[in-house]
Chains A and B, each alone.
Chain A
């Protein structure tokens, strides 16, 4: 009984910390100014919407990976999947939930765009280094 209570409390706090962790990742990239290249490639002028996430992820797969982005991108990807599931289920029943999930999904997409921007800059750097040799 005690183990079951501890398990439930731990899982609840795990979810709470996970949501906050993903939000902190997104918040840490919120001050990033998007380059002209990434705005042209994605067609996103300033703010991405939740629907852009899948498309940006496809673009990300075309760029060389930066190891320091991998953990954050995976965490935000999981957060996006959970939110999308909640949107399809609870979001249809509770209208106020819809606005909140849309805002969060948009945050996930914006984070992915910032990572894409960094990867494009990273690719340019690699190409520039290769050009030196």
Chain B
């Protein structure tokens, strides 16, 4: 796979991330969805840092490897926080905020400890392995949490179009990423599999920007229509 195609997808994804932030500013929803914007701003900063490391040290350098894996772990953390903020939106009226935050922190610590336990057995490249395994595990935890959140959206008959589509896009993104990580492991880390990550990376900003641009905070949908089996 040509590196120029991967670079193009990378720049395209970065443009989409910027588009979401601009769109939420134009729609005056920046603060309402602050943590979603924070995630994309972090993604933009990571792209700048990775681009700098790439141009200064080259793709095979330790510096680029560290920058890539640590920014990836930080981005996964930011996305985890964005997911928890969607929980806060859905459960906002039920005053569960404190319990949600506490559970989220405990789950994050548990995932970090589990990841450390996995990589501690091999001393070779412990720090980059930790960042990689933490990202991988957080994606799977994120997928499970999004699945639970989707159940809550259906149960509480959430009708806000933006919230519903943000949650569903995140679910699609997490499950596609978790599947791609598993596929990379199954396919013995073949080079062709590495194109998946940048392609999938474009999906979330694309669908969230579409949702932010297409719908307002007042847009509502009929919750019963979301169920696959008609009631």
Interface residues of chain A, those whose CB is within 8 Å of chain B, are 3-4, 6-7, 9-11, 13-14, 16-21, 23-28, 30-31, 68, 71-72, 100, 103
Chain B residues lying within 8 Å of A24, measured Cβ to Cβ, are 161, 164-165, 168, 221, 226
Kindly state whether residue B48 has any CB partner on chain A within 8 Å: no
Q: A7-B179, A14-B176, A103-B230 are in contact. Are A28 and B168 (CB under 8 A)?
A: no
DSSP majority for the B interface? helix
Kindly state whether residue B206 has any CB partner on chain A within 8 Å: yes
How many A-B pairs fall under 8 Å by CB?
90
Chain A residues lying within 8 Å of B175, measured Cβ to Cβ, are 10-11, 13-14, 17
Asked if residues A17 and B150 are in contact (CB atoms below 8 Å), the reply is yes
Asked if residues A20 and B206 are in contact (CB atoms below 8 Å), the reply is no
Q: A14-B176, A103-B230 are in contact. Are A71 and B206 (CB under 8 A)?
A: yes
Give the distance in Å from the alpha carbon of A3 to the alpha carbon of B228 in the complex.
Answer: 29
Asked if residues A13 and B221 are in contact (CB atoms below 8 Å), the reply is no
What are the 4 tightest A-B residue pairs by CB atom distance, in nearest-first order?
A10-B179, A7-B182, A17-B171, A27-B225
Contact among B143, B206, B219 for A28, CB-based, below 8 A = B219
Give the distance in Å from the alpha carbon of A25 to the alpha carbon of B213 in the complex.
Answer: 14
Asked if residues A28 and B221 are in contact (CB atoms below 8 Å), the reply is yes
Bitwise, B121-162 to A at CB < 8 A (1) or not (0) is 000000000000000000010010011001000000000010
Give the distance in Å from the alpha carbon of A4 to the alpha carbon of B184 in the complex.
Answer: 11
Give the distance in Å from the alpha carbon of A23 to the alpha carbon of B165 in the complex.
Answer: 10
Contact among B186, B214, B219, B226 for A3, CB-based, below 8 A = B186
Q: Name A15's closest neighbour in chain B (CB-CB).
A: B175
Give the distance in Å from the alpha carbon of A11 to the alpha carbon of B186 in the complex.
Answer: 14
Q: A14-B179, A24-B226 are in contact. Are A3 and B185 (CB under 8 A)?
A: yes
Subset of 29 A-B contacts with CB under 8 Å: A3-B183, A6-B181, A7-B179, A10-B143, A10-B176, A10-B182, A11-B179, A13-B171, A13-B175, A14-B176, A16-B171, A17-B146, A17-B150, A17-B175, A18-B172, A20-B168, A20-B226, A21-B165, A21-B171, A21-B172, A23-B225, A23-B226, A24-B226, A28-B165, A30-B221, A30-B222, A30-B225, A68-B213, A68-B214
Asked if residues B210 and A68 are in contact (CB atoms below 8 Å), the reply is yes
Report the minimum CB–CB distance from A33 to chain B (whole Å): 15
Give the distance in Å from the alpha carbon of A25 to the alpha carbon of B164 in the complex.
Answer: 10
Report the minimum CB–CB distance from B149 to chain A (whole Å): 11
